[in-house]
Amino acid sequence: ETGVTQSPTHLIKTRGQQVTLRCSSQSGHNTVSWYQQALGQGPQFIFQYYREEENGRGNFPPRFSGLQFPNYSSELNVNALELDDSALYLCASSLGTGVYGYTFGSGTRLTVV
């Protein structure tokens, strides 16, 4: 059984650029949630995908978008990067909406300069 894999692990981008982060969910999980974690803070919910459809969204602007693929892997895209987008981006997979808990990846550390 494989866990959740995120790529890349670190990324440096310039303000205004676009970025794509990737996540492979744990085997048997059909739901992927994305979180943003600023330094010293708790994870903030971005959105969740279930069976390739967005299942819910947190308080993030439309320039944060995502996809889920038939194999349940997922992408997080962020357009027009801002300095405040610098954070650890965490992907979590689950069976359904997380009533059994989540399995997290190790995260992608994004730095916007």
Partner 1 sequence: SQQGEEDPQALSIQEGENATMNCSYKTSINNLQWYRQNSGRGLVHLILIRSNEREKHSGRLRVTLDTSKKSSSLLITASRAADTASYFCATDTGGFKTIFGAGTRLFVKA
**Where do contacts with partner 1 occur on this chain (CB under 8 A)?**
4, 33, 35, 37, 39, 41-45, 48, 50, 55-56, 58, 88, 90, 92, 97-107, 109
Q: How far is the CB of 72 from partner 1 (least distance, A)?
A: 16
Residue 39: CB atoms within 10 Å: 7
Q: Judged by CB, which is closer to partner 1: 20, or 37?
A: 37
Closer to partner 1 by CB, 8 or 80: give it.
8
Closer Cβ to partner 1, 20 or 60, answer by number? 60
> With 0-12 CB in 10 A as exposed, 13-18 as middle and 19+ as buried, what is 101?
exposed
What is the residue-wise DSSP string for 7-48? E-SEEEE-TT--EEEEEEPPTT--EEEEEEE-TTS--EEEEE
Give the nearer residue to partner 1 in terms of CB position, either 8 or 16. Answer: 8
Peptide bond into 43 cis (omega under 30): no
Shortest Å distance, C-beta 83 to partner 1: 19
